[in-house]
Amino acid sequence: DAGVIQSPRHEVTEMGQEVTLRCKPISGHDYLFWYRQTMMRGLELLIYFNNNVPIDDSGMPEDRFSAKMPNASFSTLKIQPSEPRDSAVYFCASSLRVEQFFGPGTRLTVL
């Protein structure tokens, strides 16, 4: 298996622009998680899905953030409009029963 796939790996954008991060979970996994990692705040859970349904989005920082999972093999995290404080590494992870498997992350820089 290819593991969790995230794209793009790096994204540089300007403040106010829309940013879309993409994730393909491991085939057969029924949980998908989005995390944000910064030096200041560490690893933060933003939202997670079970069987494509959002279960807990209490970690989404504000209305500028939205996430979707239209099918079992694809999820997006969108930021609109982006702000410099959104600069971070965003991880997607998937899980079947117990362990989480992480993607390589997307490093987002908002200028």
Partner 1 sequence: AQTVTQSQPEMSVQEAETVTLSCTYDTSENNYYLFWYKQPPSRQMILVIRQEAYKQQNATENRFSVNFQKAAKSFSLKISDSQLGDTAMYFCAFMKHFRNTGNQFYFGTGTSLTVIP
Whether the CB-CB separation of 105 and 7 falls below 8 Å is answered with no
The smaller minimum CB distance to partner 1, of residues 14 and 44, is found at 44
The smaller minimum CB distance to partner 1, of residues 16 and 36, is found at 36
111-to-16, 39, 51, 84, 87 alpha-carbon distances in Å: 9, 18, 35, 6, 8
Minimum CB separation from partner 1 for residue 80, in Å? Answer: 25
The smaller minimum CB distance to partner 1, of residues 27 and 38, is found at 38
End-to-end Cα, the chain, rounded Å: 36
Minimum CB separation from partner 1 for residue 81, in Å? Answer: 26
Residues of this chain that interact with partner 1 (CB under 8 A) are 31, 33, 42-43, 45, 50, 55-56, 89, 91, 93, 95, 98-102, 104-105, 107
Q: What distance in Å separates the CA atoms of residue 49 and residue 72, rounded to the nearest whole number?
A: 10
